[in-house]
C-alpha cells in the first residue's frame, strides 16, 4: 500500500480563497483591512526568511503589513516598547514576535506584553492557559498546531476516539497540538527525549505527529499500517547532488514510511504552507474581533 499524500499547498490555497472572500466583505462593508505587525530581533537567517515570507503573504492577501527589525543586542525594554507600540496601533490586528529570541531576552515577559486580542501566534500565557483547560476557548490557537488539525479535518480524518501520538513537547508545536487533539477527543500520548520504547509507542498511533527536529527519525517499523502521519519537521541535510549542497527533510523517513502509512504529509509541501495560512486566518480573526464582529 502507498499512502495518500496530504497536499498542504492545495489545502492552504483553499484557505487563502476563503480568507480573500472574507476580506472583500470586511473591506466593502466595514472599510477594514486586517493588519499584521512582525517583530524580528537579530539576524537568524531562518527567522529572517520566515518573517519575509509572512510579510509577503500579507501583501498578497491585501493585508496591511508592518515590521520592526531590532538589532541582535536590543534590550528587553526596546523589544517590549515595540510590542506596546503595536498594541496601541488601531491599524494592527495581529502582532507576531518571531521566535527564538536572542538568549539575553526574557521571551516569557515579551510574549505576555502582547495584547491578547492581537496575539495571533496564540503564545500569550492567557491564550495557552485557556487552550490547556476543558471548556475554555482561547482567542487564538498557535498557527502550526492549528494547521496540523486543519490538514486532518479537511482530509476527512476522524480525530475523535483515535489514538494520537505526538513526538515532541515544544511550546510552539508539540504541546499545543497535543492539547488540540485532546479537545477533539483523541486519546493523546506525548513522547519526548526521555521516553522509552519510542517505536513501540508510535506503532499504537492512528494519528502520529512528528515535531522533534530530528531528520528522518520516524522509520517504517514505527508506523501502524494505515496510520495518518503528520510531519512537522523542517531539517536541512547535506546533499551534494543539489545545487545548494543541501535539501530539506522532515522528521519522518518519507520514502519508507509512505509504504506503510494510510496518509502522510510531505516535506516540503505539507505542514509548512499551513503555518502562514493559519497566521493569516488568525490575523483576519483579530480584525473581526476589533470590529466587534466576533464575541470574545
Ligand atoms: N518560530 C518558529 N515557528 C514560529 C511561529 O509559529 N511563530 C513565531 N512567532 N515564531 C516561530
**Measured from the CB, is residue 172 less than 6 Å from ligand 1?**
yes
User: From the CA of 225, how far away is ligand 1's center (Å)?
Assistant: 32
Q: What is the pLDDT of residues 122-139, one digit of tens each?
A: 999 999 999 999 999 999
| C-alpha pair distances (Å), 108 with each of 114, 210, 285 | 11, 25, 24
User: From the CA of 264, how far away is ligand 1's center (Å)?
Assistant: 23
**Measured from the CB, is residue 144 less than 6 Å from ligand 1?**
yes
pLDDT for the residue numbered 296: 80
Q: What is the pLDDT of residues 233-277, one digit of tens each?
A: 999 999 999 999 999 999 999 999 999 999 999 999 999 999 999
Q: Name the one residue in this structure whose C-alpha cell is 501566534.
A: 121
251, 229 in Cβ contact below 8 A?
A: no
Cell readout for 176 is 499545543
Q: Where are the domains of the chain?
A: 32-115, 143-274
**Measured from the CB, is residue 98 less than 6 Å from ligand 1?**
yes
The CATH number of 143-274, from 3.40.50.300, 3.50.50.60, 3.40.50.720, 3.30.465.10, is: 3.40.50.720
Choice among 54, 130, 216, 224 that is catalytic: 54
pLDDT for the residue numbered 295: 83
Instruction: With 0.85 as the threshold, say if the pTM is over it.
Output: yes
User: From the CA of 99, how far away is ligand 1's center (Å)?
Assistant: 5
pLDDT for the residue numbered 128: 96
Report domain 32-115's class: alpha beta
Q: Looking at the predicted structure, is the pLDDT value of residue 58 above 80?
A: yes
Shared fold status for 32-115 and 143-274? yes
167, 218 in Cβ contact below 8 A?
A: yes
Query: What mean pLDDT, rounded, does the chain reach?
Result: 97
Amino acid at each position: 500500500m502507498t499512502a495518500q499524500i496530504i497536499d498542504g499547498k492545495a489545502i492552504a490555497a483553499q484557505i487563502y480563497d476563503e480568507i480573500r472572500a472574507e476580506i472583500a466583505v470586511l473591506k466593502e462593508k466595514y472599510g477594514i483591512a486586517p493588519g499584521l505587525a512582525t517583530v524580528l530581533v537579530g539576524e537568524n537567517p531562518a527567522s529572517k526568511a520566515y518573517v519575509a515570507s509572512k510579510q509577503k503573504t500579507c501583501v498578497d492577501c491585501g493585508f496591511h503589513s508592518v515590521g520592526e527589525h531590532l538589532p541582535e543586542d536590543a534590550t528587553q525594554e526596546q523589544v517590549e516598547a515595540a510590542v506596546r507600540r503595536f498594541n496601541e496601533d488601531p491599524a494592527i490586528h495581529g502582532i507576531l514576535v518571531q521566535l527564538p529570541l536572542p538568549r539575553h531576552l526574557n521571551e516569557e515577559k515579551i510574549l505576555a506584553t502582547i495584547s491578547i486580542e492581537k496575539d495571533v501566534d496564540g503564545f500569550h500565557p492567557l491564550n495557552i492557559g485557556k487552550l490547556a483547560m476543558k471548556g475554555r476557548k482561547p482567542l487564538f490557537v498557535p498557527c502550526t498546531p492549528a494547521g496540523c488539525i486543519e490538514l486532518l479535518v479537511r482530509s476527512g480524518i476522524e480525530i475523535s476516539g483515535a489514538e494520537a501520538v505526538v513526538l515532541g513537547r515544544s511550546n510552539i508545536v508539540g504541546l499545543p497540538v497535543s492539547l488540540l487533539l485532546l479537545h477533539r477527543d483523541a486519546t493523546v500520548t506525548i513522547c519526548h527525549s526521555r521516553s522509552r520504547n519510542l517505536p513501540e509507542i508510535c506503532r499504537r498511533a492512528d494519528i502520529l505527529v512528528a515535531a522533534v527536529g530530528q531528520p528522518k527519525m520516524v522509520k517504517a517499523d514505527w508506523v501502524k499500517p494505515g496510520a495518518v502521519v503528520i510531519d512537522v519537521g523542517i531539517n536541512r541535510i547535506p546533499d551534494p547532488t543539489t545545487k545548494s549542497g543541501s535539501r530539506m527533510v522532515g522528521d519522518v523517513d518519507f520514502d519508507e514510511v509512505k509504504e506503510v502509512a494510510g496518509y502522510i504529509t510531505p516535506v516540503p509541501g505539507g505542514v509548512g504552507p499551513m503555518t502562514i495560512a493559519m497566521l493569516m486566518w488568525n490575523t483576519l480573526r483579530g480584525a473581526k474581533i476589533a470590529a466587534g464582529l466576533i464575541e470574545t
